[in-house]
Amino acid sequence: MRGFGAGVMQWGTGDEAAMARIDTISREWLVANGVTLAMVEAWAQMYEEVHRRDPRNPSAVGRIELMRHCMGLLEGSG
């Protein structure tokens, strides 16, 4: 079974892949796949902590941006 990142969010590897996913993800897709605002908020907070501890992490910034984008979609402002 694939987890949240690879299976549900399909965010790939590294910042560029996560940032590219912003262009292809939709509110409808998130809802259909059971993704909630609370979930994306929690993942954003987790990756913000990862980035704080290791600013060189190759995936944290892109995933933070993707989660923020998803927050906007789920809040109806994205």
Predicted pLDDT of residue 3: 87
Predicted pLDDT of residue 1: 47
Predicted confidence (pLDDT) at residue 78 exceeds the cutoff of 80:
no
Give the burial string for 35-51 (b: 16+ CB within 10 Å, else e).
beeebbeebbeebbebb
**Which fold would CATH assign to domain 10-75?**
30s Ribosomal Protein S18 (4.10.640)
Predicted pLDDT of residue 30: 96
